[in-house]
Chains A and B, each alone.
Chain A
Amino acid sequence: MTTLNIAARNITRNYRRSLMTISAIAVGTMSMLLFGEFVSQIFVSLETQNVTRSGHIALFRSGYFNYGAGNPAAYGIRDYQDVIGLMGEDAFLKPLINVVTPTINLFGIAGNFDAESSKTFVGLGVIPADYNIMHRWDEHHLKLGTTAGDISLNEKDESHGFIGAGLARILGLCETLKLGDCPERQRGDQETVQTKSGRNKRDFSGLEEEAKQTNSDAGNGPAPRLDLLAATANGAPNVVNFYVDKAIVQGIKEYDDSFVIMNFNLAQKLLFGRGEKKAVSIVLQLHQTEDIPVARARLEKLIKDKGLDLETRELTELQPFYKQAVGMFLAIFSFISIVMAVIVLFTVVNTMSMSVMERTQEIGTLRAMGVKRKGIAVQFVLEGILLGLIGATVGIVIGSVAGEIINHAGLTWHPPGQAYPTPLLVRTKGVGHLLFGIWTGLGVMATIAAWIPARRAARMKIVDALGHV
Chain B
Amino acid sequence: MVLGPSGSGKTTLLNLVGCLDQPTGGKIEVCGEKVAEITDDRISEFRAKNIGFIFQNFNLIPVLSALENVEYPLTLLGMKTSERRERSMSILGSVGLSDHARHRPNQLSGGQKQRVAIARALVKGPSLVLADEPTANLDSTTGAAIIDLMHRVQEEYGASFIFSTHDPQLISHAQDVFSIRDGELIEHRSEG
Q: Is B71 an interface residue (CB 8 A)?
A: yes
A147 to B46, CA, bound (A): 78
- Chain A residues near B20 (CB-CB < 8 A): 367-368, 462-463, 466
Comparing A150-158, A196-204, A370-378, the segment that makes contact with chain B is A370-378
Q: Are B59 and A365 in contact (CB under 8 A)?
A: yes
A1-B68, A365-B55 are known contacts. Are A463 and B21 too (CB-CB below 8 A)? Answer: yes
Q: How many angstroms between the C-alpha atoms of A192 and B149 in the bound complex?
A: 116
Q: Is the interface of B mostly helix, strand, loop or mixed?
A: helix
The chain A residue sitting closest to B71, CB to CB, is A1
Asked if A89 is at the interface of the complex by the 8 Å CB criterion, the answer is: no
- 1/0 per position for A357-383, CB-CB distance to B under 8 A? 000011011111111111000000000
Binds B, one of A5-13, A71-79, A128-136, A224-232: A5-13
CB distance from B76 to the nearest CB of A (A): 5
Q: Which B residues contact A (CB, under 8 angstroms)?
A: 15, 18, 20-21, 40-41, 44-49, 53, 55, 57, 59, 61-64, 68, 71-73, 75-76, 120
Q: How many angstroms between the C-alpha atoms of A361 and B49 in the bound complex?
A: 21
Nearest residue in B to A10 (C-beta to C-beta)?
Answer: B63
Interface residues in A166-211 (C-beta closer than 8 Å to B): none
The answer to whether A361 touches B64 (Cβ under 8 A) is no
Seed contacts A367-B20, A371-B76; 18 additional CB < 8 Å A-B pairs: A1-B64, A1-B71, A1-B75, A9-B64, A362-B59, A362-B62, A364-B59, A365-B55, A368-B18, A368-B53, A369-B76, A370-B45, A371-B44, A371-B48, A372-B44, A373-B44, A374-B41, A463-B15
Q: List 15 A-B contacts (CB under 8 A).
A: A1-B68, A9-B63, A361-B57, A366-B61, A368-B20, A368-B47, A369-B76, A370-B44, A370-B73, A371-B44, A372-B45, A373-B41, A462-B21, A466-B20, A466-B55
A9 — nearest CB in chain B belongs to which residue? B63
User: Residues of A contacting B68 with CB < 8 Å?
Assistant: 1
Report A-chain residues with C-beta under 8 Å of the C-beta of B73: 369-370
Of chain A, the residue at the smallest CB distance from B21 is: A463
**Residue on B with the closest CB to A1?**
B68
Among B44, B53, B57: residue with most chain A CB under 10 A: B44
CB atoms of B72 and A1 under 8 A apart: yes
Contact residues in A for B71 (Cβ distance below 8 Å):
1
Closest CB in chain B relative to A2 CB, distance in Å: 9
Q: Which of B15, B49, B61, B76 contacts A365 (CB 8 A)?
A: B61
Residues of chain B lying within 8 A (CB to CB) of residue A366: 61
What is the CB-to-nearest-CB distance from B44 to chain A, in angstroms, rounded to a whole number?
Answer: 5
Chain A residues whose CB sits within 8 angstroms of the CB of B49 once the complex forms: 370
A333-363 Cβ-contact flags toward B at 8 Å (1 or 0): 0000000000000000000000000000110
- Separation of A370 and B20 alpha carbons in the complex (Å): 10
- For residue B57, which residues in chain A have a CB less than 8 angstroms away from its CB? 361
Question: With A and B bound together, what is the CA distance between A461 and B15 in angstroms?
Answer: 12
CB neighbours (8 Å) of B47 from chain A are: 368-370
Q: Is the CB of A370 within 8 A of B48?
A: yes
A361 to B56, CA, bound (A): 12
Min CB distance B104 to A, Å, is 10
* Least CB separation from A368: chain B residue: B53
- Separation of A6 and B120 alpha carbons in the complex (Å): 17
CB within 8 Å for A6 and B40 given contacts A369-B53, A463-B15:
no
